[in-house]
Structures are given as structure tokens and as C-alpha cells.
Amino acid sequence: MDRPPLRTYGRIKTRTLKPRQAGLIDALLPRLGVPEGPFDPRGLKPDAAEVWLEIGFGGGEHLAAQAARRPDVLAIGVEPFLNGVASALRHIDDAGLANVRIVQGDARDIVGRLLDASLERIFILFPDPWPKTRHHKRRLMQPDFIGDLARVARPGARLGFATDWRDYAAWTLERMAASPDWTWTAQTASDWRAPPPDHVTTRYEQKALGDTAPIFLNFTRA
């Protein structure tokens, strides 16, 4: 039998949920889910101009802001951290967003179940850096996962990765460059120092816990 994949995340719950958050988990989360087993995300919003996936959305501020900005897009967010999911639900409820789907769980599971070439955009913003060498195997950006992301990305799809850990940026660039499926779009240094024009600052980004200013790596699917 296959061994379960190594955990790429830390705790999945910290504080006790406030009553409103617990209510949203009970009432709203089940309405925003995705089907069991393999699925075509366009079935969830057949008129969607594009389908976007945010992996590890944390408190969901970026996900909700992007969904509000682009009501024509279906935005799917996946995050194992329950308090983060509850926070995202609050943003979705407050803004009355009808184009968001939320999955509490591991992105590797969802990506494994998505139809081939079904995404136009993927965000991986400030993933857990696992800075110690002995923990590097827990980093999300492993060659297998990079290949899985290529399978679900349409030709021309965009993948935006950000980190404030110098070594994780180099790690990701090296592995993405080794994949024939992804092209780094940067032409000049400002392309990786400046956020994409529609970037929304994330909570983790604001904390600036890393060892460098944020690095934004943008790729396109060949």
C-alpha cells in the first residue's frame, strides 16, 4: 500500500472557533464544497470565464478579494487549517460572493482529482517554507506536485508563486526549470521583485517572517 504523503503544513486548528465562525463551518462550508472523486470544476459554474485555484489560502483575504474583483471567474481555495477556512468563510459571507468554492484539506488531493487542463490560474502564495534542511522534503513544491499542477493547468495557464524565503525561491525556480511544462516569465529583476499588478497583500506576507523581501515567481504552462 502507498504511504500517505508527508505533511506540508503545520497545525490544522489553533484557537476555538467563535460562534459565528462555527456557524459558517456548519452551514456555509457544505454548500461551497466540490464533488467527491474526479471532477470537472466547470461543472460547478458552467458560465465561468476561467477557473482559478488558490493553494494554502491562509485566512482567505487574497482569495476573497480576487473573487470579488472577478465575479466571472470560479475561484477554488484549498486550505487544511480550520481557523483559516473559518476566516475565509467570513470574508465570503460578508462580501456575498457566489463564485467561490472552499475545500478544507490538502491541495495535493484536490489537484489529483481535477480534470486535465481545467485551470487557467494557480496561486501558491507564501507556502510553508520549511527552512531547515531536514524539513525540505515537506515543501509543497516537489517535482511530482509540479507535474500534477502541469496536468491540471491549461496551455497558457498562469501559476503565481511567492515566498519571502530566498532559499525556497531558488528551490522552486530550480524545480520548475527542470519541468518542460512551465516557463518562468521574468525578463528583468523587477519582474520578480514586484508583485503582479492585481496582487492582494496576504496576511503572512505582512508578517515578513522570511529572510528576504517577497519574491514573486510567475510561470506559464507551455
Ligand X SMILES: C[S@@+](CC[C@H](N)C(=O)[O-])C[C@H]1O[C@@H](n2cnc3c(N)ncnc32)[C@H](O)[C@@H]1O
User: Active-site residue numbers?
Assistant: 128
Name the residue nearer to ligand X (CB basis): 16 or 188. Answer: 16
- List the interface residues with ligand X, window 129-188 (CB under 6 A): 140
Q: What is the DSSP string of 86-141?
A: HHHHHHHHHHT-SSEEEE-S-HHHHHHHBPTT-EEEEEEES-----SGGGGGG-S-
The correct pick among 32, 86, 107, 153 for binding ligand X (CB under 6 A) is: 107
Name the residue nearer to ligand X (CB basis): 63 or 73. Answer: 63
Binding pattern to ligand X, positions 31-70, x when CB under 6 A? Answer: ------------------------xxxx------------
Q: How far apart are CA 146 and CA 58, in angstroms?
A: 21
Q: Are the CB atoms for 80 and 116 separated by under 8 Å? A: no
The correct pick among 24, 48, 91, 127 for binding ligand X (CB under 6 A) is: 127
The correct pick among 91, 108, 121, 199 for binding ligand X (CB under 6 A) is: 108
Q: Given the rule CB under 6 A, which of 40-48, 65-73, 119-127, 191-199 is the region that contacts ligand X?
A: 119-127
Number of residues in contact with ligand X under rule CB under 6 A: 23
Does 205 help bind ligand X (rule: CB under 6 A)? yes
Q: How far apart are CA 197 and CA 78, in angstroms?
A: 23
Q: How far apart are CA 120 and CA 105, in angstroms?
A: 21
Q: How many CA atoms lie within 13 A of 128 on its CB side?
A: 20
Our measurement of the distance from residue 48's CA atom to the centroid of its chain's CA atoms, rounded to an integer in Å, reads 19
Q: Are the CB atoms for 98 and 68 separated by under 8 Å? A: no
The correct pick among 51, 76, 81, 85 for binding ligand X (CB under 6 A) is: 81
Binding site for ligand X (CB under 6 A): 8-9, 55-58, 78-81, 84, 106-108, 125-128, 140, 202-205
